[in-house]
């Protein structure tokens, strides 16, 4: 199956190297292909780490082990396997992950618990240990590669390589953040897996790094949806090498912490939106902003109810400012709402206010907005001050074609 | 837009009249069409009633008033308007409903609180009072019609008329149940609305009738999903005329209550499945049975997580026994599950057992099953004894065509 580049794709950005981070990729042959499919990232001694993982009750061994190891807050290496998710593979899958950790630990001289592994691709097939072993052996001495090479090597059916970067001034020093992510492209019987990796040369205490990642996750990665499905392997890891030489950031009271947090959050937001831009069959990027909700969390839930509604997503695909479907999605969210204070708009134009269609409604500006590639939906609940923005894409025949018509 | 009859359609059954129930339909002209669009059901004095309504936080006035009036447990009339849902229409919509109630009450000599009204169709446009008034006037003296006529008159974009019937022996007397329902067909900017009406000549205490409806609702109407979206108008009402002459059923201790409950439940199950059979674009009916869950409710939630997963539904459309996507949907349900005790099958054949693909797996019988029209998915969680069956349909290009390509 030949996947066309998403019409919402962005060019890969010019991203700075991060001191203390070395990227390498090799072909381990997880599938019968020539492309690089094993990415090995070596991190300097002293690198701190934080992570968020899928909430699936059926996670992969990679996620189970990663969740354990991240508690120590330290990392020396990351290995990403593409082409095989190694999920639902029982003890054989776990052995393959432990083998990779042991081999890297021996190769660079570190504790196996500081090696993080992710896998993405077909499920139900144990990761082949022989291929992994030969791949890791080659990766340990492979030449360094670029961010874009690594972004391509971690991808499966993504239609474009995804990277994001930002800088901040911390204690008078310029610190950099460079990050790559793979998104929700998938081919039967593969599963959507979002794998994101954020690297910075700032010195950041691991507990504070985890706090920042949790905060940003709640407003970025947890605010996107393509089709409401959640993978068994979703993972975002953040690594801070400390090579920039700043005094470690331990809390928001640390000098420069605000600037770092803003840059970190901006990178997370960019990464999350890139995933939506590569949603299967996506023709339009949809940003849904909910205001006036009972709380920010309530606003997020209402936003996701709208973003996950097939009826709303198909209406946007059909360029139809169908506010009735938005009312429906607000109503079913299970959150406080009042029909008679509810207002709904598209592209900054209200279609309904306080529970009734706008008098003398002019659909023309909404229709023009819906013809564009970046759509906004505004929902005011009219109850309180809670707000959130979530992102999704439209639902088109392309989604059906990728997920139904194509057979494994 | 010409909607083709669903390939999963069933013939309208031969349904007995219910003593005490008179059906009439007329053309009120809610849209520019010739078909009957106002259904008036007169119920004899002494009819008891029960109802379940949408949980949407943004319901229509019909739902708000129905929810209030059902508490009295008595009904004398039902009016169903097709072509206009009268939802999100503020005080003007409410006035139209109150006008219908008052007019019927005067016409047949009953309290307005014993008149139930439902509306389905376009939203955001107040139900035209003039059309409703002329329609009700005509309906009060119209000749009686058949169940199938009424089933057609309450429908909007359903592709076939839906009815179900059952009988039971209660205290030596044959009691009958006849019911009609309209389903989830919809055209932009209309909304899916499930409206179901169950009529019986049995004498049933209203509190017991409500108990039976709640119980059956939990295992039938609440166990179906087409696209996870919930309408602002969903309503199921049950009416018992008492004309069969049995001693009123007041609880499961009443003689014949078990037999009546079984017939009542069977009718609810038939109605619920008919709605799924007319899901937009449906090519296959999918029954998902979850066993071994922590509780029956947990099993139902896991079943709905699978039934609502676009990835599972597109896999069935593509006739792909993609158990990996079922694992994913179990994992995201937010219910107790353990990867290593999870088993998944299609058509009675296991694909994975206890967290691993079946050894020497033979896909041929699963592939044959997936080519059929009625698909079963079996999921054993392996934790406890909770179980549930839910029903859905596959997700095809037809759904996109109906909801996106067609413009209002």
The answer to whether A304 and A391 have CB atoms below 8 angstroms apart is no
Residue B323 has pLDDT above 50, yes or no: yes
What average pLDDT does range A209-231 have in this prediction?
86
Residue A289, pLDDT score = 97
Q: Where are the beta strands (DSSP E) in A294-385?
A: 343-346, 349-353, 356-357, 374-380
Please tell me whether residues A316 and A251 are part of one structural domain: no
Phi/psi for B186 (5° steps) reads: -160, 155
Which residues of chain A have a CB within 8 Å of the CB of B327? 58, 87-88, 123, 232
B10 lies in some domain: no
Percent of chain A with pLDDT over 90: 71
Please tell me whether residues A264 and A356 are part of one structural domain: no
Bridge partner residues of B183 (DSSP): none
Using DSSP, state whether A181 is helix, strand or coil: strand
| Sequence-ordered list of residues with C-beta below 8 angstroms from that of B319, at least 6 positions apart, any chain | A407, B367, B370, B371
Residue B113 forms contact with A (CB below 8 Å)? no
> Among the three residues A252, A277, A302, which one is the final residue of a domain in this structure?
A277
**Chain B, window 273-312: residues with a beta carbon less than 8 angstroms from a chain A beta carbon:** 308-311
Suggest the residue from B90, B324, B338 to mutate for an interface test with chain A (most A CBs closer than 10 A). B324
Find tokens 């998915």 and name the residue.
B377
ipTM value: 0.74
Please tell me whether residues B249 and B311 are part of one structural domain: no
Bridge partner residues of B118 (DSSP): B80
The CATH code of the domain that includes A88 is: 3.60.70.12
Please tell me whether residues A323 and A387 are part of one structural domain: yes
Please tell me whether residues A126 and A258 are part of one structural domain: yes
The answer to whether B365 and B199 have CB atoms below 8 angstroms apart is no
Active-site annotation of A, residues:
193
Residue B310, pLDDT score = 85
Using DSSP, state whether A151 is helix, strand or coil: helix
Residue among A239, A351, A267, A327 at smallest CA distance from A13: A267
Tens digits of per-residue pLDDT, A66-103?
999 999 999 999 999 999 988 888 888 999 999 999 99
Least confident span in B21-25, B55-59, B385-389: B55-59
Tens digits of per-residue pLDDT, B288-312?
999 999 999 999 999 999 998 888 9
Residue B403 forms contact with A (CB below 8 Å)? yes
Please tell me whether residues B127 and B66 are part of one structural domain: yes
Q: Please indicate whether, in this complex, the C-beta atoms of B309 and A339 are within 8 angstroms of each other.
A: no
A68 lies in some domain: yes
Residue among B168, B109, B103, B166 at smallest CA distance from B139: B103
Is the sign of the CA dihedral B379, B383, B384, B386 positive or negative?
negative
Residue B280 has pLDDT above 90, yes or no: no
Mean pLDDT (chain B) is 91
Of B88, B188, B232, nearest to A322 by CB-CB distance is: B188
- Classify strands B349-353 and B343-346 as parallel, antiparallel or unpaired: antiparallel
Please tell me whether residues A233 and A350 are part of one structural domain: no
Please tell me whether residues A176 and A236 are part of one structural domain: yes
Residue B229, pLDDT score = 66
Tens digits of per-residue pLDDT, A145-170?
999 999 999 998 888 999 999 999 99
Is A408 labelled as part of a ligand binding site?
yes
Please tell me whether residues B239 and B314 are part of one structural domain: no
A16 lies in some domain: no
Residue B391, pLDDT score = 92
Number of domains in chain B: 2
Nearest CA in chain B to A93: B356
Tens digits of per-residue pLDDT, A46-57?
999 999 998 888
The answer to whether A250 and A73 have CB atoms below 8 angstroms apart is no
Of B58, B230, B323, nearest to A342 by CB-CB distance is: B58
Residue among B320, B325, B374, B324 at smallest CA distance from B347: B374
Residue A69 forms contact with B (CB below 8 Å)? no
Percent of chain A with pLDDT over 70: 95
Q: Extract the tokens encoding B291.
A: 């066993």
Least confident span in A327-341, B108-122, B283-297, B379-393: A327-341
Residue B16 has pLDDT above 90, yes or no: yes
- Helix, strand, coil share of chain A (percent; to 5): 35, 25, 40
Residue among A263, A268, A273, A178 at smallest CA distance from A216: A268
Residue A404 has pLDDT above 90, yes or no: no
Nearest CA in chain B to A351: B124
What average pLDDT does range A226-251 have in this prediction?
88
The answer to whether A23 and A150 have CB atoms below 8 angstroms apart is yes
Name the strands in the sheet holding B173-182, side by side, starting at the edge strand that comes first in the sequence.
B48-53, B235-240, B195-200, B173-182, B162-170
A228 lies in some domain: yes
Residue among A109, A105, A123 at smallest CA distance from A62: A123
Tens digits of per-residue pLDDT, B333-365?
889 999 889 999 999 999 999 988 898 888 899
> Among the three residues A224, A254, A277, which one is the final residue of a domain in this structure?
A277
Residue B35, pLDDT score = 96
Residue A57 forms contact with B (CB below 8 Å)? yes
B100 lies in some domain: yes
Helix axes B90-108, B129-140, angle to 10 degrees: 20
What average pLDDT does range A210-215 have in this prediction?
96
What average pLDDT does range B315-330 have in this prediction?
90
The answer to whether B119 and B233 have CB atoms below 8 angstroms apart is yes
The CATH code of the domain that includes B368 is: 3.10.20.340
Q: Extract the tokens encoding A181.
A: 């992510």
CA distance B32 to chain A (A): 21
H-assigned helices in B200-308: 206-219, 257-277, 296-307
Residue B187, pLDDT score = 35
Higher pLDDT, A407 or A106: A106
Q: How confident is the model at residue B188 (pLDDT cuts 50, 70, 90)?
A: very low
Please tell me whether residues A366 and A225 are part of one structural domain: no
Alpha carbons B257 and B260: distance in angstroms, whole number: 5
Q: Please indicate whether, in this complex, the C-beta atoms of A309 and B189 are within 8 angstroms of each other.
A: no
B374 lies in some domain: yes
- Residue range of the domain that includes A158: 21-277
Residue A55, pLDDT score = 81
| A274 CB neighbour count, 10 Å cutoff | 27
Which residues of chain B have a CB within 8 Å of the CB of A185? none
Q: How confident is the model at residue A58 (pLDDT cuts 50, 70, 90)?
A: confident
Please tell me whether residues A237 and A379 are part of one structural domain: no
Could you tell me if residue A389 is left (phi over 0), alpha (psi between -120 and 50 degrees) or otherwise beta?
beta
CA distance B260 to chain A (A): 33
What average pLDDT does range A246-264 have in this prediction?
97
Find tokens 């059916």 and name the residue.
A157
Residue B384 class from Cβ within 10 Å (0-12 exposed, 13-18 middle, 19+ buried)? middle
CA distance A393 to chain B (A): 14
Q: Please indicate whether, in this complex, the C-beta atoms of B333 and A57 are within 8 angstroms of each other.
A: yes
Tens digits of per-residue pLDDT, A306-315?
998 888 998 8
Active-site annotation of B, residues:
193
CA distance B357 to chain A (A): 6
Residue B316 host element (H or E) = helix B310-317
B220 lies in some domain: yes
What average pLDDT does range B245-249 have in this prediction?
98
What average pLDDT does range A273-282 have in this prediction?
87
Please tell me whether residues A289 and A259 are part of one structural domain: no
A8 lies in some domain: no
Tens digits of per-residue pLDDT, B153-167?
999 888 899 999 999
**Chain B, window 73-92: residues with a beta carbon less than 8 angstroms from a chain A beta carbon:** 87-90
């Amino acid at each position: 199956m030949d996947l066309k580049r998403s019409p919402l794709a962005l060019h890969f950005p010019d991203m700075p190297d991060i001191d203390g981070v070395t990227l390498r990729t090799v072909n381990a042959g997880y599938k019968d292909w020539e492309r690089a499919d094993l990415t090995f990232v070596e991190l300097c001694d002293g690198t701190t780490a934080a992570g968020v993982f899928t909430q699936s009750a059926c996670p992969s061994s990679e996620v189970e082990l990663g969740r354990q190891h991240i508690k120590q807050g330290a990392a020396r290496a990351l290995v990403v396997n593409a082409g095989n998710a190694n999920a639902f593979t029982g003890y054989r899958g776990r052995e393959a992950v432990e083998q990779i950790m042991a081999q890297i630990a021996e190769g660079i001289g570190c504790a196996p618990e500081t090696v993080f592994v992710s896998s993405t691709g077909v499920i139900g097939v144990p990761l082949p240990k022989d291929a992994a072993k030969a791949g890791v052996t080659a990766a340990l001495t492979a030449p360094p590669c670029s961010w874009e090479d690594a972004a391509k090597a971690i991808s499966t059916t993504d239609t474009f390589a995804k990277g994001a970067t930002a800088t901040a001034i911390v204690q008078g020093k310029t610190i950099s953040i460079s990050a790559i992510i793979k998104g929700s492209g998938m081919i039967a019987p593969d599963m959507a897996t979002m794998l994101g990796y954020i690297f910075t040369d700032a010195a950041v205490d691991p507990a504070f790094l985890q706090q920042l990642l949790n905060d940003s996750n709640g407003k970025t990665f947890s605010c996107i949806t393509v089709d409401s499905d959640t993978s068994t392997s979703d993972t975002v890891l953040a690594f801070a090498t400390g090579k920039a030489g700043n005094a470690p950031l331990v809390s928001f009271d640390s000098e420069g912490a605000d600037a770092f947090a803003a840059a970190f959050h901006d990178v997370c937001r960019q990464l999350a939106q890139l995933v939506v831009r590569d949603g299967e069959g996506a023709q339009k990027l949809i940003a849904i902003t909910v205001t006036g909700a009972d709380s920010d969390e309530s606003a997020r839930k209402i936003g996701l109810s709208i973003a996950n509604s097939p009826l709303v997503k198909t209406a946007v695909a059909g360029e139809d400012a169908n506010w009735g479907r938005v009312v429906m999605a607000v109503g079913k969210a299970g959150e406080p709402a009042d029909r008679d204070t509810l207002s709904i708009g598209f592209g900054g134009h209200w279609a309904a206010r306080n529970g009734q269609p706008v008098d003398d409604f002019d659909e023309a500006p909404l229709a023009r907005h819906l013809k564009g590639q970046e759509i906004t939906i505004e929902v005011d609940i009219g109850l309180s001050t809670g707000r959130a923005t979530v992102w999704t894409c439209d639902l088109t025949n392309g989604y059906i074609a990728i997920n139904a018509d194509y057979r494994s």
